[in-house]
Amino acid sequence: MNTTKILRNWLLACGIAGGALAVAGCGKTAPGDKPGVKAEAEEKQEARVGDLTVEQVLRAKCPHGSTLECAECRYEVGVVKVDPSLMQAAEGAGTGLIKTIQVAQSTTTTAVSITGEVRMNENSAVHLSPRIPGVICAVNVDIGAEVAKGDVLFTLDSVELGQALSDWEKNRAMAELSGRNFQREKSLYEKKVGSESDMIDAQMRHQEYQIALKASEQKLHVLGLSDDDIAKINPNRHDSLSGSLAVRAPISGTIIDKHAVVGELVEPGKDTMVLADLNSVWVWGGVYERDLDLLLKRKLADGIAVELSVPAYPQTLFRGQMNYIAATMDEATRTIKVRTVIDNKDRRLRPGMFCQGRILLTTDEEVLAIPKVALLSDEGVDFVFTHMQDDYYLRTNVKRGRDFAEGVEILSGLAPGQQIVTEGAFVLKSDALRSKMGAGCAD
């Protein structure tokens, strides 16, 4: 005898079967009926388990007496008796395998799921390219090295720099000499020994060399020399005036790409190294068109929280703030690109990693939502276990609504204030569906 028949007979016996059950029970499913009609009627009967009210369950009788009290039969009306030792630890008792909560209305957080890829934060990444052509004569760092701002990364031998340095040196010497000459002419003129025109000539020449010195110093800056570099050039030491240009780290960070090798000819525009500050990374993800409206109701400036996980650390949720939503949609994927900044001081996130996550959007809307773990399903019918009385829990069919970050919205079947089983609900399910679990020997 199948479950439905047993249930129907009991319900009929205690006079509580109505509606669909009464139809099935009054001979309408006689041979010759259309199979579709019969199937529909049986489907309605199946739906009864989980739809019974507490009163109906209390009235149900089985061949052994009260169904509720009967350890063999109570599962047929969707009731499970839970050993108190399994319930959540209250005052030091119990193991807490099974937990319950009181259902309540609350504001919701809509979670929009995204998939994405970790990339370096390009706002803190530098592609190093020399400003002048030259041959690399020394490389000071390897890929992966952590460098501080100002550290010398590599050194370049450059004819152009050598020329610029000697121009600058010549102009500096000439400016100095012409300055002394001007002072001498000025003093001669003041002593009425020299002519005024000689003094003015000397002054003009001095000014010309000063201008030329300024221009050649400017050129050294353009080529990448700092004020410090220039100050260190010692005119009395010929070797300090080499054409070697030290290329320094413009920011602190990690060398994440390196092409520079000794002896290589490099020129402006050619990448030699990529230096990135990996203290934060970007995650580029895509959201579907249908979710865009939800996102645009937020102000990016207020921050939109995002939670992400990567396969490398399945237990870890990385949290960040979305700070960019693309103005256009990607035609190939039909998604809109969004960018999230994630703190990465521990360097666990590596550019190139794929990640999955969700955008959390809190709303003012109040709904009745329950934890996902509380919601069970059997043959397409969703249900939860509600506390009935004492140690008894009743399968209660519900209609599920939208998914939220906190759980699943329940549209009907539950009311605020009801106690439901959350963790451990699957244990009750296996008990309630025991006829299915051991189908072979139950009949």
Q: Which residues bind Zn ion (CB under 5 A)?
A: 62, 64, 70, 72-73
Partners of 275 in the beta sheet?
Answer: 126, 255
Q: What does the alpha-carbon distance between residue 162 and residue 245 come to, in Å, rounded to a whole number? A: 9
C-beta of 65 vs 303, nearer to Zn ion: 65
C-beta of 44 vs 61, nearer to Zn ion: 61
Partners of 306 in the beta sheet?
Answer: 320, 359
C-beta of 66 vs 242, nearer to Zn ion: 66
* Shortest distance, position 64 Cβ to Zn ion, whole Å: 3
* Shortest distance, position 29 Cβ to Zn ion, whole Å: 26
H or E element that contains 442: helix 439-442
Residue 296 backbone zone (phi > 0: left; psi -120 to 50: alpha; other: beta): alpha
* Shortest distance, position 85 Cβ to Zn ion, whole Å: 24
Distances (CA, A) of 411 to 294, 363, 372: 21, 18, 14
C-beta of 70 vs 304, nearer to Zn ion: 70
C-beta of 74 vs 258, nearer to Zn ion: 74
C-beta of 67 vs 100, nearer to Zn ion: 67
Instruction: Give the residue among 45, 70, 59 at the shortest CA–CA distance from 16.
Output: 59
Q: State residue 370 phi and psi, 5-degree precision.
A: -125, 155
**Coil, helix or strand at residue 46:** helix
* Shortest distance, position 71 Cβ to Zn ion, whole Å: 8
* Shortest distance, position 439 Cβ to Zn ion, whole Å: 19
Residue 349: exposed, middle, or buried by beta-carbon count in 10 A (0-12, 13-18, 19+)? buried
* Shortest distance, position 31 Cβ to Zn ion, whole Å: 31
N residues, the chain: 443
Tokens of 164: 């610029």
Work out the angle at residue 235's Cα, subtended by the Cα atoms of residues 233 and 240, and round it to the nearest 5 degrees.
Answer: 45
* Shortest distance, position 28 Cβ to Zn ion, whole Å: 28
C-beta of 65 vs 150, nearer to Zn ion: 65
